[in-house]
Structures are given as structure tokens and as C-alpha cells.
Amino acid sequence: MNREYDTVSLDDERGVLVAIDQTKLPNALEFLALSTPPDIRDAIRSLQIRGAPAIGVAAAFGYYLAARNAAVSGDALWEALREAKQTLASSRPTAVNLFWALERMERSAFSCPDRQNLIQRLKAEAVSIRDEDVASCRAIGGYGLTLLKDGDGILTHCNAGRLAAVRYGTALAPVYVGAERGARFKVYATETRPLMQGARLTAYELSAAGIDVTLICDNMASRVMRNGWVRAVITGCDRVAANGDVCNKIGTSALAVLAAHYSIPFYVCAPLSTVDLRTASGDEIPIEERDGGEVSEMWFQKPSAPAGVKIYNPSFDVTPHSLVSAIVTERGVLRAPYAESLRGAKHS
């Protein structure tokens, strides 16, 4: 993957959000050019744009573009911005970065009464959200490195690398920052059924970056751990509850249980924008359920299941805080009791 490309970026001259179309990977590197909130919403829903940090940045740029490209003024403009926020917020229910970014953009908008200054202010705010994402992911990489040793085997799930953020990513940030500093890790990427983000995206971006990566089926994780090849499990997440419960791609909680059985540390990398202190525990996090065709048909020339069979397809699961060894943020490595460490980090 060419490091010159950001996963999501703003082309202000054309008035569009530019994003890598992740549904085309690994077979083709193609870019989307999106100008309206409905187009950006649909791209997020269809997983053309995915990953909690990248979704937040895309939503911020989308909100700015709604103001920039609006052909109305006065009360009609404010109504257009409210509609833009509602449209973008409806794209996916689980990743808290989406709502965090939109609320931040809305606060910036409604504190600025002048339309021309409003547009410039919203652009500056969206660019700040983008820049902060890059900086926080790199900081996460540095703090995550303190938990690892050169040559360690690392198991990761889904895709929490560059493609899930603007650059660096979260769970893979220690790998990338480590590579910059001369460290070398052996990464085991689960394929991550049913949408195959590990196979299509993590394996793609790591191999393109020259990182030692081995793809395994999801049900091979226990064998790899038993072989002694894994020194740490590192994942990203879409939402961290106030008590430290973490919500991530379906299958994450099973890896946490396996890691505990084999006495392997289970680390979660997340920017503080992913921490939701208003959600007391993982029980309160809405879990998105997607179309069953993703399980039975999407990656097969012919259906892999009998027609009409019932399919349960949740996108996420919740790992209880008791199984989380540490949460790595841009402000340091947080440990239990998470109710205290998360609140302290958010308010520092």
C-alpha cells in the first residue's frame, strides 16, 4: 500500500471527500470522490469506508462539505446542517467516533453566526480532526511498543491498520512505528469472517508495507497460540464503555477468552475519541446486525448455505474488561480499574 495515500482525505478544490474504496481491495486500489452526506453515508454503510477513526474523519469532512456546497443561507443553511448530521449519523450505529466527530462539528457550526466564517471554521475543524487522528494513532503506536519486544509474534483481528484510520491505524500502529524504529514483528492476521477484513485488508496493507504477516482462518487462532507463536493479541475497537468493556469486530471476544487460557496478554488500542463514558458497560452498546447474505453468498461463486436457512450476522461483540490486559491510548497505557483510568485520561 502506497504510503502517499491517506485512507480518507479532502480535495477542497473539487469539493469532495476522497477515500479508498475498501470493497475493491485487495484486487484493485480505487478511489471514491464523494460530495454529499447521502453519498458518504452510503459509502460507510456499504463498508467502502470503514474503521472507527476513518469513519469519524469522513463524517467531519462530510459535514464541512454540506456547508461548503450548500446553495442556501440563513435558517435554511442551519436546517441543511442538521439534516447533514442526521444523515451521516444514520450510517452505522456502533462506532462512537462517528457521533463524536459530528457533535464536535455541530458545536463548531452553531457557535459561528456568519456563513463565510462558518465555512472556514468548519474546514479548520475537520482538518484538525484529521490531523489529530494521525497524531493520536502514531502516539498509540509509540505507547504500544512499550508492551512488545523486537521479534514478537502478534495476533490481530479484523483490520485496525492504516485502512481503518487516516494513517498508522490503532492496533497496527505499534507495528508500523516499530518498523520505523527498526523493530520487526511477526503478525498473524485472522481472516475475520464473514467480511474478510483480515484477509482482504490487513494482509494486504502489511504485506505491501513489507511487514512479516501470516494469514490464518479464524478457527486456527487456538492452534497458533498453543504453538507458542503469539506473544500478544492486539485489536482495535469501535467503542470502549466507561467500565472498560470493549466492542470490536465479531470474534474479538473469543480471541480474548483464548488469550486468557494461554496466558497471553490481550491489548486493545483505541484513541480516546472511542471511549464513551456515557455508556456504562458493554451491555448498553448497540450491536449492528447485517444482511445474512454476507455469510452465505458474498465471497462465493455459488451460495455456501441452503436457500432460506436462517442466518444471524452481528457485526460486533463485546469483550468484558476483565479479559483486557491494557487499553493503549494516545495518552498512555491504561490498566484496570478502567472506570478510573479511562475517566482520568479523558479529563486530563
Query: What pairing do the DSSP bridges indicate for beta strands 266-269 and 326-329?
Result: parallel
> What residues pair up with 275 in beta bridges, in sequence order?
240
How does DSSP assign 176-239, residue by residue? HHHHHTT---EEEEE--TTTTHIIIIIHHHHHHTT-EEEEE-GGGHHHHHHTT--SEEEE--SE
CA distance 183 to 177: 8
How many angstroms separate the CA atoms of 140 and 54, rounded? 16
Residue 39 is among the residues annotated as catalytic for this protein? no
Query: 133, 238, 245, 317: which one is catalytic?
Result: 238
CA distance 213 to 185: 9
Q: Are 31 and 142 in contact (CB under 8 A)?
A: no
Cell of 177: 512505528
The catalytic site residues sit at 238
